[in-house]
Every structure is written in C-alpha cells, then in structure tokens.
Amino acid sequence: MMNRVFVVDYGSQYTQLIARRVRELGYYSVVVAPDEPVDPREVSALVLSGGPHSVFEKNAPQLPPWWEDYKGRVLGICYGMQLICHELGGIVKRGALGEYGKTEVTVSSDDPLFLGIPSTFTVWMSHGDEVAALPDGFRVLARTKAGVIAAATDSRRFWLVQFHPEVRHTTYGVEILRNFLTRICALSPDWNLEDFLQSKVKELRRELKGKKVIAAFSGGVDSSTAAMLVHKAIGSDLVSVFVDHGFLRKGEEEEVTGVFRDLLGMNLVVVDARRRFLERLRGVTDPEKKRRIIGEEFIRVFEDEAKKHEAEYLVQGTIYSDVIESSASGRHTDRIKSHHNVGGLPERMNLKLVEPIRELFKDEVRRLGEIMGIPHHIIWRHPFPGPGLAVRIIGEITEERLRVLKEVDHIFLEVLRESGWYEKTWQAFAVLLPVRSVGVRGDRRSYGYVVALRAVDSVEAMTADWTRLPAEILDEATRRILNRVKEVTRVVFDVTSKPPGTIEWE
C-alpha cells in the first residue's frame, strides 16, 4: 500500500502548504477536518496543522475522534502543538506579546528532527498562545530568543514545533519535514504524478465508461488538464465545452480552439455566450455577486449543452487552492473568497460533478499537463480566474470597460514576453479601477481610466510576493498603454503581497 500522510486541518491558511511540502518529498498527503471520519489503519504518519483558535475557546477544535485508535507518530505544528500539550497535561497560556513573522530559534537538544540542521536558524512564527510547561515525559528541543519553547518531543510518539516548517520563510522547513517522515516515521517516498495519472485514468474510466460527459473548458491550465485527463479515460464520450463569455484575454478564443481541437484531437464545442453574460451582469458591482452570477450562468450554459449531448456529468478544473479559499476544506478555515467552480455553484444543478484534479496544487497540475502532452506555452500560461476579466474590472462591467481592459492587459503581457519576463513571473495582469484621473493629451485636458498592473511570484497560490519588475519594463508597458489606449490616463503598479492581500483584486 502507498504511504498516506494525513494532515488534520485546524483552520490555518498554511494547511495546504503542509500537504504540498509532503508531496514534494514524495509522499501522498490527505487533508481532513478534525471531525472527519478516518480509518486510522490508513494513516502512515499524522500532522496536526496550525490554526486561528486558542485551546481555551469554548468551541475550539479538538483532537480527532479516531485519535486514540491511531498508534503512529505525530507532528504537531503551532495550534497542533498547543492542543497536544493541553490534552496531555501541559500548560498553555497567552503569550505576553505573541510572535509573528521571522524569528531565530536555537536547538538545545539532539534529536532526529533536526539532524543536519544548524543549531540556530530562522523560522516563521504566527501565534498568540504558547506552551509554558510541557506534559510529563516531554523535553525541550529548541527555544526562541525570547525563551519560548519552539520545539519539543517525548522521543516516542510526539514531535511538536511552535513554528511553521511548511512556510518558505522557515529556512530548513523542508528538511525538518523530511526528517520527520524518513528518520522518525521510517517511511520511504512512493508517490509521483506518473502513478497518479495511471490510477486516475483507471478510476475515471471505471466511473464514466459508457456515460456522456461534458467538460467546463476555459483553456486555462486547470480546466485543460482536467479535460485532457478525462479525454484519456473516455475519449470522444467527453465533450469539452468552451464558453466564450466575453471576459477572455485578447486572442484566447482562437488559440485555445486551435491547440485542443486541431492539435490534441479533443471533441471541442465553442459556445458564444458573450451577450448572455453581459446582460446578467449589467449594473452589478459587488465582486461576490459577480462570481455567483458567473458561476450560475456557466452551469446553465453547460446544462443546455448537456441536454444537446445527453450528458449527465460535468468535469471541472477545481484544484486545492480553490477549495481552501472557498472554505470547502473545513469549517475551521476562514473564507477568503468564492471561486466560480467551488463556492459559486448554484444550489440546484442537474449535472453530477467530476473534479479529477481537485487534490492537486497548481505546479502539480502543470507537470501533469506536460506529462499528457499539452504544449508548453499553454501549460505555462499565467493563471487566469474562471470569471476572467469580469473580476478585474472593479465595479460595473460595460462593453467599453471590457474593451479597454482587454487591450491594456494584452499590451502588458506583450511587453513581458518581449523582455523575457513573462516566464520569470508566475502571474501578471491588469486591473481597471472604478475611478477617473485627469491627464493631458495633445495640450488638452483629458479625463480617463486608471489601470493597475499586477505581477506576482508564487508556487502554489497560497502565498505570493509582488514581482520586482525592472523600472524600464514598467516604463515601456506604461508608455505603450498610454499611447495605444486613449481612454486610459494613468497607470499604477501594485506592490501588495499575499498575505495580507490576495492575488486578484476581487
């Protein structure tokens, strides 16, 4: 049997990062809620995540109900550490100041968890409570400069860390996770995407053979990979429906159909629904309402197509980051925003959902797409939200605003491609703001739109930092935009990281 590392989600925005790091090390990871039923015999190793709660809160999440039946080893992170100490008789208290951000810790006791790691290194902290006294039988492994217990163990079953090894700001975080899995749990890495592909194709063939299926196909990496995966399983029984809702990037309609219909041989149907979507969104300014309307309209379009093709299943490109940001992974996680293919679905839907890449992160999806032969320039296109440019127009969507943003976005990406910065940047795009700004054109006063350029670096979309584009690139993009799009009078550049911001503006 394949090793399965279970991660109990106590609501940390970093929970999926734990699962992602575990997979990077070659182990299959599963994220579960604290109250979710689990057969403890399936658990090869257990990680308890951090979270926003205090163990003293009335409704604070508890250890899983199957906890007593699991006899394996446990890594408790942040809240997970505090919860174990609290349950086993230690003392947890509110810290005098709390610790947030980068902190130095010093290892004071030998242990396999820190094998090959310097005695002093930098970690990422994010906690208000702290462990003041350990349960009987535990010993301190590391402390912060302020004297807070940063790591502890009973050397038999529990290894606890107050910091977040899954976050890249922890300099030896991956090594700590590797030591826990390989040296402490004695597991061998046995999971990879090639195996995932083979098993998923067999599973989909078993589930969908002889049935008619349509795919929600946008041409982005997620929907393309999901559709290609199902295409490998059932061939022409899959009808991939490409909805032109009018919110696509410039030239996207032609490029997508050329690649997937002509090159890869998929059964692709194009639906022109531009007028339909614009009418539904007329006068709508609230971003969550936009997403809900677009999600529902997508489904209605697909239901119409499903009737034509007598389909009963709908394939969607939902991935892990969609799930956590829509709070679909657990009730202890704060909701960030709805995604059209998770939180924006209508309550009543006449199609059964198939989400073949729901367990994968963005970079895993890209690698899987390459394994299946999807061209490099499609796989490495920058991520694009399902609602498209509709959520990059802040405020009401009009045909003029859509036309302006489409051209500005095209120019920005054009400059990045020409300069070699497109593939150095994880995601770049333009946003049309709901304000006007004064300018001067031809010695005359003008009054036009303000656009924001956004470029970020990330791996899994859970965290992101703004890209340090050279000044000459921003200058070139700005001059081209102002020269070629007369409705725009001002260009700004967004330097917000995630957190505290999100990647998209809406």
Residues annotated catalytic, as ranges: 78, 164, 166
**Number of other residues whose CB lies within 10 A of the CB of residue 254:** 8
Give Cα 79 to chain centroid, integer Å.
22
Over 390-412, what HEC string results? HHCECCCCCHHHHHHHHHHHHHH
Residue 162 has, within 13 A of its CA and on its CB side, a CA count of: 35
Q: Is 272 helix (H, G, I), strand (E, B) or coil?
A: strand
Query: Kind of pairing, strands 465-466 and 158-161?
Result: unpaired
Sheet holding 45-48, edge to edge: 28-32, 4-8, 45-48, 74-77, 158-161, 149-153, 139-144, 91-107, 120-133
H or E stretch including 362? Answer: helix 362-371
Measure the CA–CA gap between 488 and 491, rounded to whole angstroms. 8
Cα-trace Rg, the chain: 25
Pairing of strands 149-153, 213-217: unpaired
Which residue carries 């008619």 as its tokens? 212
Return d(Cα 126, Cα 15) in angstroms, integer. 13
Cα angle at 406 between 420 and 475, to 5 degrees? Answer: 45
Helix, strand or coil, per DSSP, at residue 160 = strand
Q: How far apart are CA 369 and CA 222, in angstroms?
A: 9
Calculate the alpha carbon distances from 436 to 406, 409, 450 in Å.
Answer: 18, 18, 6
**Given the structure tokens 């036309």, which residue do they identify?**
403
